[in-house]
Amino acid sequence: MRHISRIGLYAFRRFAQLTFCTLVVLSANAQPLTGQHYELELRPDFKAGVLHGRARIRLQAEPGSGDVLVLRSPKLHIHRASLDGEPRPLEQARGGWRIPLTNAQTKASSLMLELDYHAEAAAGLVFGEDYVYTAFFTCHWMPCAGPDLSRATIAIRLELPAGYRSVASGQLATEGTPGRHEWQQTQPYPLYTLGFTAGHFNEVVDSEKAPRLRFLGIDQADTALRAKFKESARVLSFFEDKAGLPLPHPTYTQVLVPGGVAQEASSFSLIGTRMLDPILDDPKEDWVIAHEMAHQWWGNLITCATWSDFWLNEGLTVFMTAAWKQHRWGEDAYQREMVLAQQRWQSAKEADFDKPLSWPGNYPSLKSKRAIHYSKGALFFDTLRGELGEQAFWDGLRRYTRNNAGRSVRAADLQVAMEASAGRSLQTLFDAWVY
Protein backbone atom coordinates (compact mmCIF):
# COMPACT_ATOMS: atom_id res chain seq x y z
CA MET A 1 0.00 0.00 0.00
CA ARG A 2 1.28 3.46 -0.76
CA HIS A 3 1.74 6.11 1.85
CA ILE A 4 -1.36 8.20 2.52
CA SER A 5 -0.05 11.73 2.62
CA ARG A 6 -3.23 13.65 3.15
CA ILE A 7 -6.39 12.66 4.87
CA GLY A 8 -9.81 14.18 5.20
CA LEU A 9 -13.29 13.47 6.41
CA TYR A 10 -16.67 14.67 5.60
CA ALA A 11 -19.37 14.10 8.16
CA PHE A 12 -22.46 16.01 9.04
CA ARG A 13 -23.51 18.04 11.99
CA ARG A 14 -26.20 16.23 13.93
CA PHE A 15 -29.02 18.33 12.51
CA ALA A 16 -28.01 17.43 8.99
CA GLN A 17 -29.82 14.11 9.27
CA LEU A 18 -32.88 16.06 8.25
CA THR A 19 -33.51 15.92 4.54
CA PHE A 20 -33.61 19.66 3.99
CA CYS A 21 -30.17 19.99 5.55
CA THR A 22 -28.87 17.23 3.31
CA LEU A 23 -29.89 19.32 0.33
CA VAL A 24 -28.04 22.32 1.69
CA VAL A 25 -24.83 20.34 2.01
CA LEU A 26 -25.28 18.70 -1.37
CA SER A 27 -25.86 21.97 -3.23
CA ALA A 28 -23.23 23.08 -5.74
CA ASN A 29 -22.16 25.95 -3.50
CA ALA A 30 -21.56 23.84 -0.41
CA GLN A 31 -18.19 24.55 1.17
CA PRO A 32 -15.41 22.72 -0.69
CA LEU A 33 -13.45 20.30 1.48
CA THR A 34 -9.74 19.70 1.57
CA GLY A 35 -7.54 16.89 2.78
CA GLN A 36 -9.33 13.82 1.42
CA HIS A 37 -7.41 10.94 -0.09
CA TYR A 38 -9.02 8.44 -2.47
CA GLU A 39 -7.69 5.04 -3.52
CA LEU A 40 -9.63 3.37 -6.29
CA GLU A 41 -9.38 -0.04 -7.91
CA LEU A 42 -11.28 0.06 -11.18
CA ARG A 43 -12.16 -2.64 -13.69
CA PRO A 44 -14.03 -1.47 -16.77
CA ASP A 45 -16.28 -4.03 -18.48
CA PHE A 46 -16.18 -2.72 -22.04
CA LYS A 47 -18.87 -5.09 -23.36
CA ALA A 48 -21.41 -4.24 -20.68
CA GLY A 49 -20.46 -0.55 -20.38
CA VAL A 50 -20.02 -0.92 -16.64
CA LEU A 51 -17.23 0.18 -14.33
CA HIS A 52 -16.62 -2.04 -11.29
CA GLY A 53 -14.94 -0.25 -8.43
CA ARG A 54 -13.56 -0.60 -4.95
CA ALA A 55 -12.81 2.62 -3.07
CA ARG A 56 -10.85 3.35 0.08
CA ILE A 57 -11.35 6.94 1.21
CA ARG A 58 -9.40 8.42 4.11
CA LEU A 59 -11.63 10.92 5.90
CA GLN A 60 -10.72 13.30 8.68
CA ALA A 61 -13.28 14.63 11.13
CA GLU A 62 -13.91 18.33 11.35
CA PRO A 63 -14.70 19.88 14.72
CA GLY A 64 -18.35 19.36 15.58
CA SER A 65 -18.91 16.85 12.78
CA GLY A 66 -22.02 14.72 13.17
CA ASP A 67 -23.36 11.25 12.80
CA VAL A 68 -24.16 10.71 9.12
CA LEU A 69 -21.71 10.52 6.25
CA VAL A 70 -23.05 11.60 2.89
CA LEU A 71 -21.69 10.58 -0.51
CA ARG A 72 -22.69 12.80 -3.41
CA SER A 73 -22.91 10.00 -5.92
CA PRO A 74 -26.57 9.08 -6.43
CA LYS A 75 -25.91 7.28 -9.73
CA LEU A 76 -23.47 4.77 -8.24
CA HIS A 77 -24.66 1.32 -7.25
CA ILE A 78 -22.97 0.83 -3.89
CA HIS A 79 -23.09 -2.78 -2.68
CA ARG A 80 -21.14 -2.64 0.56
CA ALA A 81 -19.76 -0.04 2.92
CA SER A 82 -17.50 -0.25 5.93
CA LEU A 83 -15.94 2.32 8.24
CA ASP A 84 -12.66 1.37 9.89
CA GLY A 85 -13.41 -2.22 8.96
CA GLU A 86 -16.88 -2.24 10.51
CA PRO A 87 -19.74 -2.98 8.04
CA ARG A 88 -22.25 -0.11 7.92
CA PRO A 89 -25.77 0.11 6.48
CA LEU A 90 -26.39 2.29 3.42
CA GLU A 91 -29.41 4.43 2.65
CA GLN A 92 -30.05 5.85 -0.79
CA ALA A 93 -31.34 9.40 -0.38
CA ARG A 94 -32.16 12.14 -2.84
CA GLY A 95 -28.85 13.42 -4.17
CA GLY A 96 -26.64 10.75 -2.66
CA TRP A 97 -25.95 7.90 -0.27
CA ARG A 98 -26.05 8.22 3.53
CA ILE A 99 -24.05 6.10 5.95
CA PRO A 100 -24.96 6.42 9.64
CA LEU A 101 -21.97 6.55 11.99
CA THR A 102 -21.74 4.64 15.27
CA ASN A 103 -21.22 6.58 18.46
CA ALA A 104 -17.54 5.76 18.51
CA GLN A 105 -17.18 6.80 14.86
CA THR A 106 -18.72 10.22 15.50
CA LYS A 107 -15.86 10.85 17.94
CA ALA A 108 -13.07 9.52 15.72
CA SER A 109 -10.64 12.08 14.33
CA SER A 110 -10.24 10.10 11.14
CA LEU A 111 -11.97 7.18 9.44
CA MET A 112 -11.29 4.82 6.58
CA LEU A 113 -14.34 4.38 4.38
CA GLU A 114 -14.36 1.34 2.11
CA LEU A 115 -16.94 0.76 -0.60
CA ASP A 116 -17.66 -1.76 -3.34
CA TYR A 117 -19.67 -0.31 -6.19
CA HIS A 118 -20.36 -0.26 -9.88
CA ALA A 119 -21.22 2.58 -12.23
CA GLU A 120 -23.12 2.41 -15.49
CA ALA A 121 -22.32 4.56 -18.53
CA ALA A 122 -23.63 8.09 -17.92
CA ALA A 123 -22.73 11.70 -18.54
CA GLY A 124 -19.14 11.73 -17.38
CA LEU A 125 -18.54 7.99 -17.94
CA VAL A 126 -18.36 7.20 -21.64
CA PHE A 127 -17.78 3.72 -23.08
CA GLY A 128 -16.83 2.80 -26.63
CA GLU A 129 -16.22 -0.72 -27.90
CA ASP A 130 -12.55 -0.58 -26.92
CA TYR A 131 -12.19 2.52 -24.78
CA VAL A 132 -13.64 4.30 -21.77
CA TYR A 133 -13.19 7.82 -20.49
CA THR A 134 -14.45 10.01 -17.68
CA ALA A 135 -15.25 13.70 -18.12
CA PHE A 136 -16.12 16.35 -15.56
CA PHE A 137 -18.91 14.50 -13.67
CA THR A 138 -16.57 12.74 -11.26
CA CYS A 139 -19.35 11.71 -8.88
CA HIS A 140 -20.94 9.64 -11.67
CA TRP A 141 -18.09 7.12 -11.60
CA MET A 142 -16.54 7.38 -8.13
CA PRO A 143 -17.95 8.05 -4.66
CA CYS A 144 -17.50 11.74 -3.82
CA ALA A 145 -17.32 12.72 -0.15
CA GLY A 146 -17.64 16.44 -0.84
CA PRO A 147 -18.59 19.03 -3.47
CA ASP A 148 -16.99 19.02 -6.94
CA LEU A 149 -14.64 21.89 -6.04
CA SER A 150 -13.12 20.06 -3.05
CA ARG A 151 -9.46 19.27 -3.57
CA ALA A 152 -8.24 15.71 -3.03
CA THR A 153 -5.30 13.44 -3.75
CA ILE A 154 -5.99 10.18 -5.54
CA ALA A 155 -4.45 6.87 -6.52
CA ILE A 156 -6.14 4.89 -9.29
CA ARG A 157 -5.39 1.26 -10.11
CA LEU A 158 -6.86 0.05 -13.40
CA GLU A 159 -7.32 -3.60 -14.38
CA LEU A 160 -7.24 -3.69 -18.19
CA PRO A 161 -7.08 -6.22 -21.02
CA ALA A 162 -3.62 -6.93 -22.43
CA GLY A 163 -2.45 -4.31 -24.90
CA TYR A 164 -4.63 -1.54 -23.53
CA ARG A 165 -3.12 1.81 -22.55
CA SER A 166 -4.29 4.28 -19.95
CA VAL A 167 -3.89 7.65 -18.35
CA ALA A 168 -5.31 8.88 -15.07
CA SER A 169 -4.88 11.98 -12.96
CA GLY A 170 -1.29 12.33 -11.83
CA GLN A 171 1.56 10.16 -12.99
CA LEU A 172 2.16 6.48 -13.64
CA ALA A 173 3.39 5.05 -10.34
CA THR A 174 4.24 1.49 -11.33
CA GLU A 175 3.96 -0.66 -14.40
CA GLY A 176 2.90 -3.47 -12.05
CA THR A 177 1.80 -6.86 -13.29
CA PRO A 178 0.58 -7.03 -16.91
CA GLY A 179 -2.81 -5.34 -17.27
CA ARG A 180 -2.48 -3.47 -13.98
CA HIS A 181 -1.87 0.26 -14.32
CA GLU A 182 -1.28 2.36 -11.21
CA TRP A 183 -1.55 6.14 -11.25
CA GLN A 184 -1.03 8.63 -8.44
CA GLN A 185 -1.96 12.28 -8.02
CA THR A 186 0.04 13.43 -5.00
CA GLN A 187 -0.97 17.11 -5.12
CA PRO A 188 -4.59 17.83 -4.23
CA TYR A 189 -6.74 18.71 -7.25
CA PRO A 190 -10.46 19.56 -7.51
CA LEU A 191 -12.69 16.49 -7.73
CA TYR A 192 -14.15 17.52 -11.09
CA THR A 193 -10.65 17.44 -12.65
CA LEU A 194 -9.95 13.87 -11.49
CA GLY A 195 -10.44 11.10 -13.99
CA PHE A 196 -9.00 8.39 -16.19
CA THR A 197 -9.19 6.96 -19.66
CA ALA A 198 -8.23 3.54 -20.97
CA GLY A 199 -8.45 1.87 -24.32
CA HIS A 200 -6.89 0.10 -27.22
CA PHE A 201 -4.94 3.30 -27.89
CA ASN A 202 -2.03 3.91 -30.16
CA GLU A 203 0.64 5.96 -28.41
CA VAL A 204 3.18 8.55 -29.49
CA VAL A 205 5.59 10.29 -27.14
CA ASP A 206 6.66 13.62 -28.57
CA SER A 207 9.69 14.22 -26.41
CA GLU A 208 11.31 12.37 -23.54
CA LYS A 209 12.59 15.54 -21.99
CA ALA A 210 10.38 17.02 -19.26
CA PRO A 211 7.65 17.86 -19.51
CA ARG A 212 6.92 14.84 -21.61
CA LEU A 213 4.13 15.21 -24.17
CA ARG A 214 2.21 12.04 -24.87
CA PHE A 215 -0.55 11.51 -27.44
CA LEU A 216 -3.04 8.63 -27.35
CA GLY A 217 -5.65 7.84 -30.00
CA ILE A 218 -8.20 5.27 -31.05
CA ASP A 219 -7.68 4.14 -34.68
CA GLN A 220 -4.95 6.75 -35.15
CA ALA A 221 -1.66 5.94 -36.87
CA ASP A 222 1.53 7.43 -35.40
CA THR A 223 1.79 9.83 -38.34
CA ALA A 224 -1.79 11.04 -37.80
CA LEU A 225 -1.23 11.64 -34.08
CA ARG A 226 1.99 13.51 -34.78
CA ALA A 227 0.36 15.64 -37.48
CA LYS A 228 -2.69 16.54 -35.40
CA PHE A 229 -0.77 17.41 -32.22
CA LYS A 230 2.14 19.02 -34.08
CA GLU A 231 1.77 22.41 -32.34
CA SER A 232 1.65 21.01 -28.79
CA ALA A 233 5.28 21.68 -27.82
CA ARG A 234 5.07 25.28 -29.06
CA VAL A 235 1.76 25.88 -27.24
CA LEU A 236 3.36 24.48 -24.09
CA SER A 237 6.35 26.84 -24.15
CA PHE A 238 4.09 29.82 -24.86
CA PHE A 239 1.93 29.05 -21.81
CA GLU A 240 4.90 28.30 -19.57
CA ASP A 241 6.29 31.73 -20.43
CA LYS A 242 2.99 33.55 -19.87
CA ALA A 243 2.21 31.63 -16.65
CA GLY A 244 5.68 32.17 -15.23
CA LEU A 245 5.46 28.56 -14.07
CA PRO A 246 6.35 25.28 -15.77
CA LEU A 247 3.62 22.80 -16.63
CA PRO A 248 2.67 21.35 -13.23
CA HIS A 249 3.07 17.71 -14.33
CA PRO A 250 6.12 15.76 -15.59
CA THR A 251 3.95 14.23 -18.33
CA TYR A 252 0.93 15.74 -20.08
CA THR A 253 -1.23 13.39 -22.18
CA GLN A 254 -3.67 14.40 -24.90
CA VAL A 255 -6.18 11.67 -25.69
CA LEU A 256 -7.96 11.66 -29.03
CA VAL A 257 -11.31 9.86 -28.89
CA PRO A 258 -14.26 9.63 -31.29
CA GLY A 259 -16.88 12.39 -31.03
CA GLY A 260 -16.94 15.98 -29.86
CA VAL A 261 -15.58 15.99 -26.32
CA ALA A 262 -13.19 18.75 -25.18
CA GLN A 263 -12.43 18.27 -21.50
CA GLU A 264 -9.49 19.06 -19.29
CA ALA A 265 -8.45 16.83 -16.40
CA SER A 266 -5.48 17.10 -14.09
CA SER A 267 -2.42 16.02 -16.13
CA PHE A 268 -4.38 15.08 -19.28
CA SER A 269 -7.06 16.25 -21.71
CA LEU A 270 -9.72 14.50 -23.76
CA ILE A 271 -10.13 15.74 -27.28
CA GLY A 272 -12.80 14.54 -29.72
CA THR A 273 -11.81 13.91 -33.34
CA ARG A 274 -14.58 16.32 -34.42
CA MET A 275 -12.82 19.09 -32.46
CA LEU A 276 -9.29 18.43 -33.74
CA ASP A 277 -9.56 16.92 -37.23
CA PRO A 278 -10.19 20.33 -38.94
CA ILE A 279 -6.50 21.04 -38.14
CA LEU A 280 -5.51 18.74 -41.02
CA ASP A 281 -7.08 21.18 -43.50
CA ASP A 282 -6.21 24.37 -41.64
CA PRO A 283 -3.29 24.42 -39.18
CA LYS A 284 -4.82 27.47 -37.47
CA GLU A 285 -7.63 25.23 -36.13
CA ASP A 286 -5.62 24.50 -33.00
CA TRP A 287 -7.93 26.03 -30.38
CA VAL A 288 -8.76 22.77 -28.63
CA ILE A 289 -5.09 21.92 -28.04
CA ALA A 290 -4.49 25.40 -26.61
CA HIS A 291 -7.71 25.69 -24.61
CA GLU A 292 -7.43 22.36 -22.81
CA MET A 293 -3.70 22.75 -22.19
CA ALA A 294 -4.22 26.25 -20.73
CA HIS A 295 -6.50 24.65 -18.13
CA GLN A 296 -3.49 22.80 -16.67
CA TRP A 297 -2.62 26.17 -15.07
CA TRP A 298 -5.92 28.10 -15.11
CA GLY A 299 -8.73 25.81 -14.03
CA ASN A 300 -6.89 22.79 -12.63
CA LEU A 301 -3.89 24.16 -10.71
CA ILE A 302 -5.72 27.41 -9.89
CA THR A 303 -9.44 26.81 -9.54
CA CYS A 304 -12.44 29.00 -8.88
CA ALA A 305 -13.48 28.67 -5.22
CA THR A 306 -17.18 28.81 -6.18
CA TRP A 307 -18.94 28.08 -9.45
CA SER A 308 -20.00 31.73 -9.74
CA ASP A 309 -16.31 32.52 -10.35
CA PHE A 310 -16.06 29.87 -13.08
CA TRP A 311 -15.13 32.73 -15.47
CA LEU A 312 -11.71 32.78 -13.75
CA ASN A 313 -11.20 29.30 -15.25
CA GLU A 314 -12.95 29.69 -18.60
CA GLY A 315 -12.72 33.38 -19.47
CA LEU A 316 -8.97 33.29 -18.92
CA THR A 317 -8.60 30.08 -20.91
CA VAL A 318 -10.54 31.48 -23.88
CA PHE A 319 -8.40 34.62 -23.68
CA MET A 320 -5.16 32.61 -23.46
CA THR A 321 -6.20 30.58 -26.51
CA ALA A 322 -6.64 33.86 -28.40
CA ALA A 323 -3.27 35.09 -27.10
CA TRP A 324 -1.63 31.87 -28.36
CA LYS A 325 -3.23 32.40 -31.77
CA GLN A 326 -1.95 35.99 -31.85
CA HIS A 327 1.55 34.75 -31.02
CA ARG A 328 1.49 31.93 -33.58
CA TRP A 329 -0.80 33.17 -36.37
CA GLY A 330 -0.86 36.94 -36.02
CA GLU A 331 -3.07 39.82 -34.94
CA ASP A 332 -6.01 38.89 -37.21
CA ALA A 333 -6.29 35.49 -35.53
CA TYR A 334 -6.51 37.18 -32.09
CA GLN A 335 -9.09 39.69 -33.28
CA ARG A 336 -11.21 36.91 -34.80
CA GLU A 337 -11.45 35.27 -31.36
CA MET A 338 -12.44 38.60 -29.76
CA VAL A 339 -15.13 39.22 -32.42
CA LEU A 340 -16.53 35.75 -31.77
CA ALA A 341 -16.60 36.46 -28.03
CA GLN A 342 -18.35 39.81 -28.69
CA GLN A 343 -21.02 38.06 -30.76
CA ARG A 344 -21.67 35.50 -28.04
CA TRP A 345 -21.83 38.15 -25.32
CA GLN A 346 -24.15 40.18 -27.56
CA SER A 347 -26.56 37.22 -27.77
CA ALA A 348 -26.76 37.24 -23.95
CA LYS A 349 -27.45 40.98 -23.98
CA GLU A 350 -30.20 40.53 -26.56
CA ALA A 351 -31.77 37.84 -24.40
CA ASP A 352 -31.70 40.43 -21.60
CA PHE A 353 -29.28 38.27 -19.63
CA ASP A 354 -26.09 40.27 -19.33
CA LYS A 355 -24.70 39.70 -15.81
CA PRO A 356 -21.59 40.72 -13.87
CA LEU A 357 -18.90 38.04 -14.30
CA SER A 358 -19.13 36.83 -10.68
CA TRP A 359 -22.94 36.92 -10.57
CA PRO A 360 -24.01 34.20 -8.11
CA GLY A 361 -27.48 33.45 -9.56
CA ASN A 362 -28.70 30.66 -11.82
CA TYR A 363 -28.44 31.00 -15.57
CA PRO A 364 -31.45 29.93 -17.68
CA SER A 365 -29.25 27.88 -20.05
CA LEU A 366 -25.73 26.63 -20.58
CA LYS A 367 -25.53 28.96 -23.59
CA SER A 368 -26.26 32.07 -21.53
CA LYS A 369 -23.85 30.97 -18.81
CA ARG A 370 -21.10 30.39 -21.36
CA ALA A 371 -21.77 33.77 -22.99
CA ILE A 372 -20.86 35.36 -19.65
CA HIS A 373 -18.21 33.05 -18.19
CA TYR A 374 -16.39 32.19 -21.44
CA SER A 375 -17.01 35.13 -23.79
CA LYS A 376 -17.50 38.17 -21.56
CA GLY A 377 -14.77 36.73 -19.33
CA ALA A 378 -12.30 36.62 -22.25
CA LEU A 379 -13.26 40.17 -23.23
CA PHE A 380 -12.62 41.35 -19.70
CA PHE A 381 -9.05 40.01 -19.88
CA ASP A 382 -8.65 41.76 -23.23
CA THR A 383 -9.93 44.99 -21.61
CA LEU A 384 -7.53 44.60 -18.67
CA ARG A 385 -4.71 44.11 -21.15
CA GLY A 386 -5.65 47.32 -22.97
CA GLU A 387 -5.97 49.22 -19.69
CA LEU A 388 -2.67 48.04 -18.16
CA GLY A 389 -0.50 47.80 -21.27
CA GLU A 390 1.52 44.74 -22.31
CA GLN A 391 4.16 44.71 -19.63
CA ALA A 392 1.98 45.33 -16.58
CA PHE A 393 -0.76 42.98 -17.82
CA TRP A 394 1.49 39.97 -18.40
CA ASP A 395 3.38 40.73 -15.22
CA GLY A 396 0.01 40.77 -13.39
CA LEU A 397 -0.99 37.45 -14.94
CA ARG A 398 2.29 35.82 -13.86
CA ARG A 399 1.85 37.27 -10.38
CA TYR A 400 -1.72 35.91 -10.20
CA THR A 401 -0.58 32.48 -11.41
CA ARG A 402 2.46 32.14 -9.14
CA ASN A 403 0.69 33.48 -6.04
CA ASN A 404 -2.28 31.15 -6.42
CA ALA A 405 -0.77 27.90 -7.72
CA GLY A 406 -2.49 24.98 -5.99
CA ARG A 407 -5.17 27.24 -4.52
CA SER A 408 -8.84 27.97 -5.03
CA VAL A 409 -9.44 31.59 -5.98
CA ARG A 410 -12.02 34.36 -6.10
CA ALA A 411 -12.20 37.43 -8.33
CA ALA A 412 -10.50 39.48 -5.61
CA ASP A 413 -7.33 37.36 -5.99
CA LEU A 414 -7.08 38.41 -9.62
CA GLN A 415 -7.76 42.03 -8.70
CA VAL A 416 -5.01 42.04 -6.05
CA ALA A 417 -2.43 40.66 -8.51
CA MET A 418 -3.40 43.02 -11.33
CA GLU A 419 -3.45 46.06 -9.03
CA ALA A 420 0.00 45.17 -7.69
CA SER A 421 1.33 45.16 -11.26
CA ALA A 422 -0.61 48.26 -12.34
CA GLY A 423 0.46 50.16 -9.24
CA ARG A 424 -3.07 51.57 -8.83
CA SER A 425 -6.61 50.64 -7.92
CA LEU A 426 -8.66 48.83 -10.56
CA GLN A 427 -11.82 48.93 -8.47
CA THR A 428 -13.86 50.92 -11.01
CA LEU A 429 -13.01 48.47 -13.79
CA PHE A 430 -13.74 45.41 -11.63
CA ASP A 431 -17.00 47.00 -10.43
CA ALA A 432 -18.08 47.57 -14.03
CA TRP A 433 -17.35 44.03 -15.21
CA VAL A 434 -17.09 41.65 -12.29
CA TYR A 435 -19.06 42.42 -9.14
Q: Which residues here bind Zn ion, judged by CB under 5 A?
A: 314, 317
Nearer to Zn ion, 164 or 381 (CB): 381
The gap from C-alpha 265 to its chain's centroid, in whole angstroms, comes to: 5
- Residue closer to Zn ion, measured from CB, 49 or 272: 272
When the beta carbons of 292 and 395 are compared against Zn ion, the nearer one is 292
Cβ of residue 292: shortest distance to Zn ion, in angstroms?
A: 7
CB 398 within 8 A of CB 246: no
Q: How far apart are CA 109 and CA 147, in angstroms?
A: 21
Residue closer to Zn ion by CB (options 206, 264) is 264
> In the bound complex, what is the minimum distance in angstroms from residue 300's beta carbon to Zn ion?
10
DSSP secondary structure of 52-113? EEEEEEEEEPPTT--SEEEES-TTSEEEEEEETTEEE--EEETTEEEEEPPHHHHH-SEEEE
Tell me how far, at minimum, the Cβ of 291 lies from Zn ion, in Å. 6
Helix, coil or strand: residue 196 = strand
| Smallest distance from Zn ion to CB 263, Å | 8
Helix (H, G, I), strand (E, B) or coil at 163: coil
CA distance 98 to 21: 13
Minimum separation from the CB atom of position 262 to Zn ion (A): 7
Residue closer to Zn ion by CB (options 127, 380) is 380
Q: Which is nearer to Zn ion, 197 or 263 (CB)?
A: 263
* Burial 32-69, CB ≥16 within 10 A → b, else e: bbebbbbbbbbebebeebbbbbebbbbbbbbeebbbbb
Nearest CB to Zn ion, comparing residues 81 and 318:
318
Smallest gap from Cβ 425 to Zn ion, in A, equals: 30
Would you call 171 helix, strand, or coil by DSSP? strand
**Helix (H, G, I), strand (E, B), or coil: what is residue 15?**
helix
Exposed, middle or buried by CB within 10 Å (0-12, 13-18, 19+), for 89?
Answer: exposed
Classify 241 in phi/psi space as left (phi over 0), alpha (psi -120 to 50) or beta.
alpha
Q: Please, what is the minimum distance in Å from the beta carbon of residue 317 to Zn ion?
A: 5
